[in-house]
Amino acid sequence: MTLSRRTLLKSLGLGGASLALPSFGMMAQAAPSGPAPVLHQFRFGDATITALLDGHLAIPSAIFTGSDPAKVAETLAGSFYREGGQGLEIPVNGYLVERGGQYTLIDTGTAQLMGPDLGGLLAALTATGVTPEQITTVLLTHMHPDHTGGLIAPDGSAAFPNAELVVAETEWGFWYDDAIMASVDEGSRGFFQMARDAVAPYAERRKPFTGEVEVAPGFTAMPLPGHTPGHSGFMLDAGDAQLLFWGDVVHSTALQFKNPDWTIPFDADQPLAAQTRKAMFDRAAADQLLVTGMHLDFPGLGRVERDGAAYAFDQAPWQFGL
């Protein structure tokens, strides 16, 4: 099932508003097969991590609950961020982790579900020289289509035929709850079907988990509910170094560090999503924790800092870990 603009607009509650997908800007012009491969690789402890860019989606600041034009302008003032006619460009990232010759993929991008300016993750993975067959574990932060689309090949089979699929039991249960699916509008129902279609080939290789537990060698799950019921991060212990892949704690680097209460219609429980975000910001700042996320500006690696009553993101330089 293709995520049409109409379906996306309905799920965002934007009615007949126009939400155009962005061009890929300076990186590459999107070809019919998706954006050109973009990746960034670095060493971290005993692991090699590769950030894989799936592409960008333009999101108008007006959809953020709690935002207003004056506050958006104040937030963006003095920064490199600009909101064009299509909105702020939001990246979609995935991450490949190699340890001891084993390959783990964290989220899989959109494939062809969300338009020509997305779907570049597999090309970026191919550019690393790693084949889908070499992936032994796929960790899913949650089951939205920009995280699960790449799980399936065009013929509906498993894109990663040898991979175990690790996903929270709460997350799986939510998307497979027929009563919940029947209760939502048609646009949102499409998200349920896409989630089910994406994970279906892995049903016999699914590894569910509950709570803060080790889910793969070196990886501990961290429940981060609100965006979805089972939304999770994954803490990598790479020898003497730790890195948290926090999924969708943040959708806009430009807006949500300074305004952590601002949520997005994709958040299933917006008050809980804001609460989780602020708690995670507090912990990350206090512990000087290195974090990365699926919608942080690519490659998305850095630390959270307190900035008065708000927060800031201190992005690591590209030379980090080289």
d(CA 45, CA 34): 33
The per-residue pLDDT for 170 is: 97
Q: Is the pLDDT of residue 10 over 80?
A: no
Q: Are 27 and 223 in contact (CB under 8 A)?
A: no
Which has the minimum average pLDDT: 63-72, 110-119, 139-148, 229-238?
Answer: 110-119
Note the pLDDT tens digit of each residue in 167-179.
999 999 999 999 9
Highest mean pLDDT out of 101-105, 110-114, 239-243: 101-105
pLDDT at residue 102, as a whole number: 96
Q: Which amino acid is at 251?
A: H
Q: Which two tokens stand for residue 157?
A: 């089979």
Distant-in-sequence, close-in-space partners of 33: CB < 8 Å, separation ≥ 6? 119, 123
User: What is the pLDDT at residue 34?
Assistant: 62
Instruction: Compare 189 and 141 and report the one with higher pLDDT.
Output: 141
197 burial (CB, 10 Å; 0-12 / 13-18 / 19+) is middle
The C-alpha atoms of residue 164 and residue 146 are separated, in whole angstroms, by 19
Per-residue model confidence as pLDDT tens digits over 287-307: 999 999 999 999 999 999 999
pTM: 0.88
pLDDT at 188: 82
DSSP state of 261: T
Measured CA to CA, the distance from residue 124 to residue 96 in angstroms comes to 10
Rounded distance between C-alpha atoms, residue 50 and residue 145, angstroms: 21
Closest CA to 22 of 58, 60, 62: 58
